Structure 1
Amino acid sequence: MIYFDNLKFHTQLKYEVYLLGKYLTKHYDSETADRVLKANSSDLDNLAKALGAKDIEFFCLYFMSDTFVVKDLNKDGSIPEDHKPNVARQLSEGHYELWSIANDVFVIDKRDKTVIIEPRGYAKTTIFDMSVCVYLHCYEKSIFTLLGAKTDGDATQFLDSIKKVFNENQKIIKCFGKLIDAKAIKVNGERYTINANEVEFTNCTYIRTVGSGTSVRGANWGGIRPTVVIADDFQSKDNILTEAAREKQYNKWTTEVEEVGDKAVYRNGRKIKAATKIIAIGTVLHIDCLMSKLARNNDYFTVLRRAIVLKDDETVEDIFESDLWLQCHDIYFDEKLNEDERKEKAKQFYDDHKEEMQFETWWPEKWDCFNDLAIKYWENRAAFMSEFMNDASSIGEKWFKSVATRTKEEIEDHVFTKTMLCIDPASTTSKKSDFTAMAVGSKATNDFTYIRDLLMKKLGYEQYCKKAVEMLERNPDVTHINIERNTFQGADVVRIKELIAESPILKGKKYEWINEMQKKNKDEKISTVVDPVNNGQIIVCSDCEDSKEAVNQILDFQGQLYTTHDDMIDCISELENKIKTIEVVQFATIMDRRKLGL
C-alpha cells in the first residue's frame, strides 16, 4: 500500500499515474494532462523524465518515492510485488516549500544565494542536499558541485548517500543511464574518478566534498569552477566558542566560499550562463554564528523555521509554563519518585490532558509534543532553543530561573551514595576579587544532587585552608576532595593535608584528592548544570550562613562575559561533573549457607 495526498494506492503504477496527472495539471491544465498521459501510456517513465526537468518536487516524488513516500505491506502482511515497504514519514508542508525554493534556484534561476535554517532532525539534508544533488546531476544542471560539511567525514557521508541512489535506484538507472560506473572509460582512455571524496559521472559532471576546515580557494575540475556549492552544517561548536572563531568562520565564507565560483554571464542583455549557486544549510548555534550572520545578510534569500509553530507574540515559555505543562514538569522532576516512575507518570498526565496540552509543530508526523519536544526543553533548554527553535537571542539573559532549596533537616533525610567537597579558591580579598567558594555535595539514591554545606567568602590563604578543614569536620562522610589547581598550584592541598593531620576529628582519615588545572571553557561547563538546577535536580541547603548570597549569585549569572561573580555556580558545576565520575565500590557479604537450610 502506498499513502500519498491522503489517498491509498495498491500499486506503484496507480501511484505514478496519479502523480503524473497531478503535476501535469499543475504545469499545464487537466485537459492537457489527460491527453499527454494517454499518448504516453506505454512509456510513463520517459514522460516523467521530461516533466522532472522542470519540477524538482515531482522528480523526487516519482524517481525517489522509496525515500519520500510512505509505503507499507499489503493488508495480508505480504510484500507488494512492485515496491518495497519503507519507514518514511508523511512529509510536512515545510518540506514541499524547500522543494519549491529549489525550483526557484535551479529551474527558474530566480536566486543565486540561499540560506536554509531548519530544526535539527527536519530531514533538510535529505530534502535539500541528497535529493537535489541527484536531480542536478541527472539533468546536468550542475557541471561541478562542491559539497561541504563541518568535517571531511560528514561530507563523505553525504556523498555516500548520493552514490547509493545512483548505484541502486533502478528507475534512475533506467531513465538516465548508469551515471556512476567504475568500469567505464572516458574518451581520453582514463577511468572515471570515484572515491570517498569525489565522483566523476558518465554524463561529464562532477561532485567533490570538502570539510569546513579545508581551503576551497582555486577549486576547479578540468578548468571548470564550481557551478553549485551546497554547504550542509558547515559550522561546528569549535567555530562558535569565541568571537575570534566566529569571525574567522564568517570571513572564510565570504572570502573563499562566495568567491569560489563564477558570476553570471550576459550577452546582448540576455543571461547565457547562470551564476554559481550558493546554498547554506544548517541550524543556529550562536547569535553571531555563520548561519545567523548569513540570515542577516541581505544578499541571501533566507528560510528560518522552528520546530514549534508559535503564534504572534507567543514564546516557548508561554507554552511550557502554562498550568498543565508546569504540572507535567513537576511530575517529571519529582524527587520523591524514581527516574522511571517520573517519566511514566508525567507521560500519563500528558496523555490524560493531550487535547488541552497539544501545540502545533512543523512536522507532527515526527515530533511528539511530550517525548520529542517538552523533555528536550526541560533537560537542556539552551540546546533546545538552538537546535529546535533556531533561537540564540537569549545570550546575555540570566541562565538560571530558580534554585531549589531545602533545610538541612529535609536534606539529611535522604540516603546518599557518594559525597565530595569541591573548592574554587580565590587568591586575594580586595573589593573586586573573586570569592572562595566551597560546597559539599552528595548524590542521593534518587540521583539528585544535594549541596549539603557551602561557603562563599573572601578569604586569605591560611583562613581558607582552615575553613576547608572545618567543613570536612562538619561532614565526616566526604570521601573525595576536588580543589582547582589554577590559583595555588597545589600548595593549598599540602597545607590542608597538614591541618587535617592536626585535627583530632580528621586525623588518620584518608581522602581521594583531585587537584587539576581548569582548562575547559567556563560557560560550556556551567551550561551542563543549567537544566538540572532549573529543574530542581540540584538542591541547595538553605540553612548555611552564605546560602542566601550564594543562591542570589547563581540567579544573577548571565554567562562569563556578562557576570561579575560566578564563583558558586562554577564550584557547583565542577562538583556535579566530578561526582558523576566517582565509582562506588560495593563489598560482597558472604552468607553462611547453613542459615538457608542448605
Structure 2
Amino acid sequence: MNFPSDEVRNKWLLYHFLKKSYTDTGISEKDAEDLTEKRILENSKNLFGFHGLAWKLGQISLEFFCLYFLQDIYLPKEDNAAAPLAAVHEELWHDIQESIIGNGPEQLGRVLPRGTGKSAFGTLGPTCWAVAYKHKTYVLICSDIGSTAEKFIKDIKDNMIENQYIESAFGKVLDDKNRDFICNATQLEFTNKTFVEAISSTSPMRGRKYKNVRPDLIILDDYQSEEDCRTEEAREKKWKKYSDDVKFAKQRPVKRDGKVIKKGTVLMAWGTQQHKECFYSRLIKTTTWAFKKEKGVLVNDVDEYFNSGLWLEFKNILNDFKNNDRLADAKEFYYKNQDKMQYDILWSEFWDCLELALDYFENPSSFKQEVQGDVNSIGEKWFKHQRTETRKEIESHNFTKTMLIVDPASGGGRKNDYSAYMIGSTADNGFKYCRKGELAKINARQEFDKYVDHMIDLLLEYPSITHVFIEKNTFNGADANQLEKKLKEHPLLKFRNIVIINETQRKNKDDKISTIVPFVNRGEFIFCSEDKEFNEQFMEFCGQRYTLHDDAADVAAEFFLRIDQIKNPVIIQTFDRSLLF
C-alpha cells in the first residue's frame, strides 16, 4: 500500500471534510466544491497554523479533528497499525458530535462487539475534542476498574502532549511540568481550564466538581465487569449504583425565558451485554436513552451459516481429529474457496472472515455473546465437540506428566452427589489426555474413609501418577492429611514420592472452565470413550448457573490448567559403592 506524503494527506483531509461540511447542510456538490476552494484560498496563509482553517473546521467536525489532529491513532500510515474506518465509527462520531454541540440526545449509548474500538472511537477521540475546544468543561470517564480508568488518562495525555498538529493549531493545551495544573494518574487539567477525570465504577460520582462545575460530559465505558453480571444480586447492585449515583451527578440544563442557553450534562455509555438483565441490557431498554446495538457478523443466524455449505465442509476438515494437519488443511480449503466463503461483517477493513469463523468454531456460545451480542446464547452448552479415543489407544501414548484431580462431594443436594476423580496426563505428542474420568457415588462427608481409599486405589492402578490435587474448600486439609498418612503406611505407595497439592479454590468456576473450551473444541484435550457418564456430564456444561452437575468440567479444567505447572519429583536411586572400583 502506497501512503501519501504528510502535506498531500493533510491538504486532502482539509479539502474533503470542508466540502463535506457544506454538503451536509444540503448544498449541491458543485456549490460545495466552489465554496471549499474559495475558503481555502481565503485562508491559504494559515491552513494548519494557530487558529487556522483546520482549527476552525475541527471545532464543528469531530471526524476531521480525529483524523487530522489525532491522525497517528486513526489514520493508516506506514508507521502505525491503524485500519480504515468502518461506517459504524463514522456514524458513532456523527452522533457524539450532535449530542455535544448539536441537537442530539443527551443520553447516547451503543452496544458493540468486542474489538470494535469502543474506547478509541467513543471515549479517547471525543474526550480530546470536547476539552480542546472547551465544548465541555469537565469530562468524567467511568470504567469497571481503576487500572482501566488510569489507562484512559495516560492515553489522553500521550496523544495531546507534544502533538505537533495540536500544538500548531491550539498552542500548548497540556503542560505536565507546570505545577499550577493538575496532572496525575486519574486527572488532567488543561491550559484552557478544562478537566478530565477517570474513575472506577465503584467510586462515587455525586458531589464531584471542577471549579464549581459538575461533570458536563460523563462517559460510561465498559461500566460493568464480569463480576457485576455473575449473580442476580450483583446485577441489581450495579443498576442501583447507576440509579442512585450516576444520574444525580449530572448538571441540569440552564434555561432562560423557556429556552435552553446551556445544555445539561451529556451522558454516554458504550459496552457489551453479558447477561439478559445486566446493566447494558437494562439501559438499552430505557426509553430516555438513544441506544443502538450492532453485531459483528451480519447474517441472521451464525449457527445456521457456519454449519451449512462450504463452511460445514470447512468445519468437518477442522474437526477431523485423526489428521494432525487439520487446521492447515482447513485453511487451505478456505483459500481455495475464499471468494465464495465471504460474508458481510461490521468492520471489513480490519476483521477477517477466516479469523472470525475460527473464533466461532472454538467457542460458539462465547462468540454469539461477544461478537453478536446474543444474550439468548447464555445457557447454551459450552463444548461443541469432544475428541475421544479408546482406553487402549490412549494408553499406547508416551506420557510425560500424570496427576490425579479430586473434587469431593460433601453436601446433600442434587448438585452434591458425585465425587469426581480424574487421571490426566500430557503426552510427548503435545496433547493432553483424560485417561480416566470417574463420577463416584461417594458423599465424602458421610463416607470419608471410602472417599480417601478410592484415591489409594487409583494411585495403585496408575503408577505414573506423581501429583494429587485436592481442593481445600470442603475439608480444609483433613482429607489431604489422611491421604498422606495412608501413603506413608502403604507398603508400595510409601516409595512413590507422591506430591499432594491441597489449595483453596478462589477463582470463579466459569472463568476457569471457559479457558479450556477452545482446546476441547479443537481436539487438543482428548477423553476416553469408555468413560461415558463422565463425558456426558462434561459435555452438558453450559455455565455454573445453568448446569445441574459441573464436577466433570471442573476437574478437567483443573487438570488442564495445573499439569503444565507441576514438576515431576526427582527420584534418587542408591547403588553399591563397590561397583565404582
TM over 0.5: yes
Distance 1:298 1:500 in 2: 66
Map 1:20-99 → 2, pairs under 5 A: 20-27=18-25, 28-29=27-28, 30-31=30-31, 32-45=35-48, 46-72=52-78, 86-99=80-93
Query: What residue in structure 2 maps to residue 578 of structure 1?
Result: 562
The answer to which of 474-483 and 578-587 deviates more is 578-587
Contact (CA 8 Å) 1:182, 1:191: kept in 2 or not? no
Change (3 A) 1:468 1:55: same
Which residue is equivalent to 2:311? Answer: 325
Match of 1:404 in 2: 387
Q: 1:432 to 1:164 in 2, by over 3 A?
A: closer
Describe the SS at the equivalent of 1:142: coil
Which residue does 2:283 correspond to in 1? 294
Aligned partner of 1:434 in structure 2 is: 417
Residue 245 of structure 1: aligned partner = 234
Of 214, 218, 229, which aligns to 2:218?
229
CA distance in 2: counterparts of 1:385 and 1:446, whole angstroms: 32
Aligned to 1:594: none
Matched, 1:369 2:353: yes
Q: Please provide the CA RMSD for this pair.
A: 3.1
CA contact (8 A) 2:144 2:222 kept: yes
Give the structure 1 partner of residue 527 of structure 2.
540
2:141 pairs with 140, 147, 168, which one? Answer: 147
Residue of structure 2 equivalent to 1:81: none
Change (3 A) 1:107 1:500: same
Whether 1:425 and 2:408 are equivalent positions in the alignment is: yes
**Alignment of 1:167 onto 2:161:** yes
Q: Secondary structure at the match of 1:196?
A: coil
Task: Pick closer, same or farther for the CA change 1:57–1:511 going to 2, 3 Å.
Answer: same
Partner of residue 448, structure 2? 461
Q: Distance in 1 between matches of 2:466 and 2:372?
A: 42
Q: Aligned to 2:548, which of 554, 564, 573?
A: 564
The answer as to whether partners of 2:15 and 2:36 remain within 8 angstroms in 1 is no
* 1:449 aligned partner, one-letter code: K
Structure 2 counterpart of 1:470, one-letter code: D
Contact 1:2 1:71 in 2 (8 A): no
* Aligned equivalents of 2:346, 2:166: Cα separation in 1: 31
| Residues 501/399 of structure 1: CA separation in 2 closer, same or farther (3 Å cut) | same
Contact conserved, 1:2 with 1:11, CA < 8 A, in 2? no
Task: In structure 1, give the amino acid aligned to 2:417.
Answer: D
Alpha-carbon distance between aligned partners in 2 of 1:431 and 1:345, rounded to the nearest angstrom? 45
* Aligned counterpart for 2:15 among listed residues 7, 17, 39: 17
Whether contact under 8 Å (1:2, 1:10) holds in the other structure is: no
CA contact 2:296–2:345 (8 Å) conserved in 1? yes
Work out the CA distance in 2 between the residues paired with 1:432 and 1:354.
Answer: 47
**Contact 1:144-1:205 at 8 Å conserved across structures:** yes
What 5-or-longer segments of structure 2 have no aligned partner? 572-581
1:451 matched to which residue of 2?
A: 434
The SS at the match of 2:503 is coil
**Corresponding residue for residue 342 of structure 2:** 358
2-structure distance, mates of 1:437, 1:413: 25
C-alpha separation in 1, matches of 2:180 and 2:64: 33
Deviation of residue 336 (structure 1)? Answer: 4.9
| Residues 68, 165 of structure 2: 8 Å contact kept | no
Deviation at 1:304, TM superposition (A): 1.9
For each residue in 1:79-124, what CA deviation from the matched residue of structure 2 results, as whole angstroms up to 9, or x when unmatched? xxxxxx5432211111111111112211213211112222223222
Q: Which residue of 1 aligns with 2:375?
A: 392
Q: Give the counterpart letter for 1:319 in structure 2.
A: Y
Deviation at 1:139, TM superposition (A): 2.1
User: Contact 2:421–2:440 (CA<8 Å) still a contact in 1?
Assistant: no
Closer/same/farther in 2, CA of residues 446 and 117 from structure 1, 3 Å limit: farther
- Alignment pair present for 1:158 and 2:158: no
Query: Structure 1 residues 329 and 479, CA, compared in 2 at 3 Å: closer, same or farther?
Result: farther
Tell me how far apart the structure 2 counterparts of residues 281 and 420 of structure 1 sit (CA, whole Å).
45
The one-letter amino acid of 1:277's match is: V
Q: Aligned in 2, Cα 1:269/1:331: closer, same or farther, shift over 3 Å?
A: same
Identity %: 36
Q: Secondary structure of the equivalent of 2:248?
A: coil
Would the alpha carbon gap of residues 11 and 271 (structure 1) be closer, same or farther in structure 2, given more than 3 Å must change?
closer
Partner of 1:191: 180
Q: Deviations over 1:195-214 (max 9, x none)?
A: 33223223232222222222
Mark the CA change 1:484 to 1:193 in structure 2 (over 3 Å): closer, same or farther: closer
CA distance in 2, matches of 1:408, 1:173: 70
Which residue in 2 is equivalent to 1:107? 101
Distance 1:564 1:500, change over 3 A: same
How much has 1:225 moved relative to structure 2?
0.8
- The answer to which of 498-507 and 532-541 deviates more is 498-507
- 1:553 and 2:537 equivalent? yes
Q: 1:35 to 1:220 in 2, by over 3 A?
A: same
SS at match of 2:527: strand
Partners of 1:108 and 1:102 in 2: how far apart?
9
Q: Which moved more, 1:488-497 or 1:354-363?
A: 488-497
The 1:227–1:251 alpha-carbon spacing in structure 2 relative to 1, beyond 3 Å, is same
Q: Distance in 1 between matches of 2:176 and 2:453?
A: 74
Counterpart residue type for residue 317 of structure 1: D
Structure 2 match to 1:282? 271
Letter in 1 for 2:39: V
In 2: Cα distance, 1:60 partner to 1:430 partner = 58
Matched residue, 2:302:
316
Q: Give the alignment's TM-score, normalised by structure 2.
A: 0.86
| Deviation per residue, 1:537-564 (Å, 9 max, x gap) | 3322223xxx222223223333333333
Q: Deviations over 1:199-252 (max 9, x none)?
A: 322323222222222222200112111111112222223333333232222222
Residue 479, structure 1, aligned to residue 473, structure 2: no
Structure 1 position 274, deviation (Å): 0.9
Provide the C-alpha distance between the structure 2 equivalents of 1:457 and 1:358, rounded to a whole number of angstroms. 48
Distance 1:156 1:57 in 2: 25
SS at match of 2:454: helix
CA deviation digits over 1:31-75, x for unaligned, max 9?
A: 233443443334334333333333322333343334333344xxx
**Is 2:199 the counterpart of 1:210?**
yes
TM-score, length-scaled by structure 1 = 0.84
Q: What is the distance in 2 between the residues matched to 1:367 and 1:64?
A: 22
1:426/1:434 contact within 8 Å kept: yes
